[in-house]
Amino acid sequence: MANLGERVLAGDIRAASRLIRNLEDGIPDTDLIMKDIFLKTGKSHVIGITGAPGAGKSTLTDELIAAFRKKDRSVGVMAVDPSSPFTGGAILGDRIRMMRHAEDKKVFVRSMASRGNMGGLSKAVGESIHVMDVLGQEVIIVETCGVGQQEVDIINHAHTVIVVLVPGMGDEVQALKAGLMEIADIFVINKADRDGAGKLYKEVLSVIEMSSRNCGGDGWTIPVLMVESVLEPHKFAASVAALGEKIEEHHQYLVANNLIEARIRNKTAAELNEALWASIMQPVLNELNAEGEFEMMVDQLMKRHIDPYTLAREIAGRYMKRSPCGDGSSADQS
């Protein structure tokens, strides 16, 4: 297994693919490989792209790859979007379009399913970013579907966050405002030829003006970029190229104003949380499940013979050296 890590550190693409698959599947001992990889990370610029399903994130990602390649940047893509063609969720036409980068050795695209990964999806995504980082990808794009907390957790792995909106999706905008306003560094209004694009542009601008981040935040003026329909390929490419420029500008701004450190701190704290879960919570759950005890406890709960709080305290007492403070007062009274 350690051999796999050495091969990744030596730039072996196939080893990297296998390691990412192991991370997704939660294969034991993958941590041993990731320890060495982690210490070599920190060079890539990580870009998050999020927005509702149907916002055209994948098409945008595809064109962004082309824009970065024109500037000779190596690009990694991690797609965690159930509607993304990268993850196999969309129609054939999209998948074929993506293939145009398949022969380019400086483009490394991987996807991760957002289901069935018990609590470890954000961890697996963060670690996959590290793998792409040590592999030498200068830019790494994380594409995810933005509504729930899990998606926000994933997008927080990025230094620069792009929120993609589309005219005519109604309350959707309302929801995006509620959840994603705080994390957007750049807004994109996609399919800007549609009715309502101008109205949406003004709405987003007014939200930005009102936001607390804009007054007294990090000083970055959140731009709103219009991206033309993919049906007009030249206009589309030009507007995505402009987006690419704006992304680099944001990165330079973060570096020049010592803001990048705060972002990296947030990312790192999230990773530590995820590692603590994997070392503390997961082994307990594994043991309870392996011995059938978990199901027996569920039986007792269903019969209302006991409550989950009392059971959880018993399990905590069995595995924990002492009851840490914070929850201690209630443990005394139980």
Site for a copy of itself in 116-135 (CB under 8 A): 121
The answer to the question of residue 3 lying near a copy of itself (CB under 8 A) is: no
One of 4, 66, 90, 241 touching a copy of itself (CB under 8 A): 90
Nearer to a copy of itself, 13 or 178 (CB): 178
Q: Say how many C-beta atoms besides its own lie within 10 A of residue 234's C-beta.
A: 8
Interface with a copy of itself by CB under 8 A: which range of 64-72, 101-109, 170-178, 215-223? 170-178
One of 3, 149, 212, 221 touching a copy of itself (CB under 8 A): 149
The secondary structure element, H or E, covering residue 86 is none
3-class DSSP state of 24: helix
Q: Which phi and psi (to 5°) does residue 110 adopt?
A: -135, 155
Render 118-168 in DSSP notation, one character per residue: TTTHHHHHHHHHHHHHHTT-SEEEEE---SSHHHHHHHTT-SEEEEEE-TT
The answer to the question of residue 328 lying near a copy of itself (CB under 8 A) is: yes
Nearer to a copy of itself, 77 or 181 (CB): 181
Q: Cα separation of 248 and 309, whole Å?
A: 50
Two tokens, residue 189: 């209004």
The answer to the question of residue 307 lying near a copy of itself (CB under 8 A) is: yes
Interface with a copy of itself by CB under 8 A: which range of 102-110, 217-225, 245-253, 276-284? 276-284
Binding residues for a copy of itself restricted to 214-273, rule: CB under 8 A: 261, 264-265, 268-269, 271-273
Is the sign of the CA dihedral 2, 281, 128, 117 positive or negative? positive
One of 38, 223, 238, 259 touching a copy of itself (CB under 8 A): 38
Q: Which phi and psi (to 5°) does residue 191 adopt?
A: 55, 50
State the greatest distance between any 2 C-alpha atoms of the chain, in Å, as a whole number.
Answer: 70
Interface with a copy of itself by CB under 8 A: which range of 5-13, 140-148, 201-209, 214-222? 140-148
Q: Give CA angle at 32 (30, 37), nearest 5°.
A: 90
CB of 25 to a copy of itself, least distance (A): 15
Q: Say how many C-beta atoms besides its own lie within 10 A of residue 186's C-beta.
A: 21
One of 13, 32, 96, 210 touching a copy of itself (CB under 8 A): 32
The answer to the question of residue 42 lying near a copy of itself (CB under 8 A) is: yes
